[in-house]
Amino acid sequence: MRTGLNRTFAAVLVVSAVLIGCALGLIFLVAPEEKVMGAVQKIFYFHAWGVWWTWEAKLTTTLILWLLLAGCLLARRYAATPEQGARIGAVLGIVAALDVPIVYKAVDWWRGQHPIVFGPGKTNPLAPGMSEAFGVSMLAVLTLYLVLLIARIRLSSLEERIAELEDASGRFR
């Protein structure tokens, strides 16, 4: 099993690296530049509102979601007992899941500065070249996720093997 997992990991890692390179190439070479900022806009997109942070509805609800998810991780790690951490993390995870549709609908419910790009009556809102860059970027992120998932599975397998070896060595002392 380990050899098959290693080959799968190597293959997905190579595919992920190639897709990330392709995505970056499409982003910087094919996707159109913004009129005011040019190529810099592709890296830093703060000029749209003229400030680094604004209390706009979509940004604020996304920040709340991020803080809830960070709270899940912190609760799981630093709770007094693992059961308490699991319970608190689960509650925070449920609240975070309830926040996702709020983030999605924030632009519709509270008219903010975010444009409504996808909506009724709108045909493909992406400029030519952007659809390809978006699709390849999404595929690159998916393969990167697979790389991280396989790495975590490998780590878990090694942790189990270490525990087995420690148990076996403890029996022979």
61 and 136 fall within a common domain: no
Q: Residue 108: is its pLDDT beyond 90?
A: no
Encode pLDDT of 15-68 as tens digits.
999 999 998 888 888 777 777 666 666 666 555 556 667 788 888 999 999 999
Interatomic CA distance for residues 39 and 24, integer angstroms: 13
Encode pLDDT of 69-91 as tens digits.
999 999 999 999 999 999 999 99
Looking from the CA of 62 toward its CB, the CA atoms found within 13 Å total 12
48 and 120 fall within a common domain: yes
102 confidence band (pLDDT: 50, 70, 90): very high
120 and 64 fall within a common domain: yes
97 and 147 fall within a common domain: no
Q: Which domain holds residue 142?
A: 1-32+131-173
Q: Which residues contact 19 (CB under 8 A, 6 or more apart)?
A: 136, 139, 140, 143
Encode pLDDT of 117-134 as tens digits.
666 666 776 777 778 888
Whether the CB-CB separation of 112 and 106 falls below 8 Å is answered with yes
pLDDT at 55: 82
Interatomic CA distance for residues 88 and 73, integer angstroms: 10
Number of domains in the chain: 2
167 and 143 fall within a common domain: yes
Interatomic CA distance for residues 135 and 116, integer angstroms: 20
122 and 153 fall within a common domain: no
For residues 136-165, give the mean pLDDT.
92
93 and 47 fall within a common domain: yes
Among 1-10, 27-36, 92-101, 119-128, top mean pLDDT goes to 92-101
Q: Residue 5: is its pLDDT beyond 90?
A: no
Residues pairing with 38 in the sheet: 34
143 and 77 fall within a common domain: no
Interatomic CA distance for residues 132 and 130, integer angstroms: 5
24 and 64 fall within a common domain: no
Tokens of residue 36, six digits: 């005011």
pLDDT at 167: 87
Residue 42 CB coordination number (10 Å): 16
149 and 85 fall within a common domain: no
pLDDT at 59: 85
Residue 125 CB coordination number (10 Å): 12
117 and 170 fall within a common domain: no
